[in-house]
């Protein structure tokens, strides 16, 4: 019972963007994809989401190829937040968040409760009646986070759900980043949700991830626990910049880049 990539490859116009990727997103785990620009992180998310069709291998959810899933049923099982969510029409924030309820039969009372709850989680309740188009970048990102959150928060669902996030914190300030990642961590701990997120901030990745997936030039370099993946060699080889690992007070490591003298 998990979201699995088997020998996954994708190429467009004779150019390989990803090849030979094997990984598994399990319920109860927060997996974080890291890697330099152009390493194929977004392509991997899109493949896992079924937005791109793999040219090699396949992606399965509960051992069923994503291609064979009914789109409505699939939407109750996994939600996706793209890197750039666009919405250029005036839409009330509350209604944008409520779009997350699309896969479920309509139930006004339940929908309202879940939407309000998600808006509280992501600190956007005060924006409820504002038009989306008037929001700042960070506010918009939080609205979309609330939307995908709502999509997976039906209390009656029994199956494990999966949340796929492409750079979900890119526009968030420090407080909101931390609150959000803690919320993710907390919700996977119930064992009913698996999350995979692309992050650029290695320190956050180390701090919150249960598993890390390190990509470089379209290939999987390493996958596993932080200790296995986040080695100074790996990071220096791939990012081509000297790094230092400073210990946290709580025993975890903190990564900082050191200027090349």
107-124 exposure pattern, b = at least 16 Cβ within 10 A, e = fewer: eeeebeebbeebbebbbb
Going by their DSSP bridges, the two strands 193-198 and 30-34 should be labelled as parallel
Rank residues 62 and 173 by Cβ distance to other proteins and give the closer one.
Answer: 62
Cα 138 from Cα 4, distance rounded (Å): 31
Cβ(94)–Cβ(125) under 8 Å?
no
Rank residues 57 and 82 by Cβ distance to other proteins and give the closer one.
Answer: 82
Report the candidate in 190, 201, 181, 174 with the shortest Cα–Cα distance to residue 33: 201
Cα 107 from Cα 125, distance rounded (Å): 20
Nearest 10 degrees: CA dihedral of 106, 108, 112, 114?
Answer: -40
Least separation in angstroms between CB 206 and other proteins: 29
Rank residues 4 and 99 by Cβ distance to other proteins and give the closer one.
Answer: 99
Rank residues 38 and 72 by Cβ distance to other proteins and give the closer one.
Answer: 72
Rank residues 171 and 221 by Cβ distance to other proteins and give the closer one.
Answer: 171
Provide the binding-site residues for other proteins, judged by CB under 8 A.
Answer: 46, 49-51, 71-76, 79-80, 82, 85-92, 94-95, 99-100, 102-103, 129, 131, 133, 151
Least separation in angstroms between CB 104 and other proteins: 9
Least separation in angstroms between CB 161 and other proteins: 13
């Amino acid at each position: 019972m998990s979201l699995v990539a088997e020998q996954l490859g994708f190429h467009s116009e004779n150019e390989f963007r990803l090849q030979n990727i094997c990984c598994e997103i399990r319920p109860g785990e927060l997996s974080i994809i890291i890697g330099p620009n152009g390493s194929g992180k977004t392509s991997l998310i899109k493949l896992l989401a079924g937005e791109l069709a793999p040219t090699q291998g396949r992606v399965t959810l509960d051992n069923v190829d994503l291609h064979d899933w009914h789109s409505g049923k699939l939407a109750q099982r996994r939600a996706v937040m793209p890197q750039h969510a666009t919405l250029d029409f005036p839409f009330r924030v509350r209604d944008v968040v409520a779009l997350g309820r699309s896969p479920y039969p309509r139930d006004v009372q339940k929908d309202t409760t879940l939407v309000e709850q998600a808006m509280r989680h992501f600190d956007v309740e005060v924006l409820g009646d504002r038009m989306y188009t008037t929001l700042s970048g960070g506010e918009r990102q939080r609205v979309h986070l609330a939307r995908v959150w709502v999509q997976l928060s039906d209390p009656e669902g029994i199956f494990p759900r999966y949340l796929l996030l492409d750079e979900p914190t890119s526009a968030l300030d420090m407080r909101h980043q931390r609150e959000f990642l803690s919320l993710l961590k907390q919700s996977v701990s119930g064992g009913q949700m698996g999350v995979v997120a692309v992050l650029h901030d290695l320190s956050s990745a180390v701090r919150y991830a249960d598993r890390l997936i390190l990509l470089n030039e379209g290939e999987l370099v390493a996958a596993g626990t932080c200790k296995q993946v986040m080695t100074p060699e790996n990071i220096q080889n791939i990012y081509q910049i000297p790094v230092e690992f400073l210990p946290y007070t709580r025993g975890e490591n903190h990564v900082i880049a050191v200027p090349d003298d």
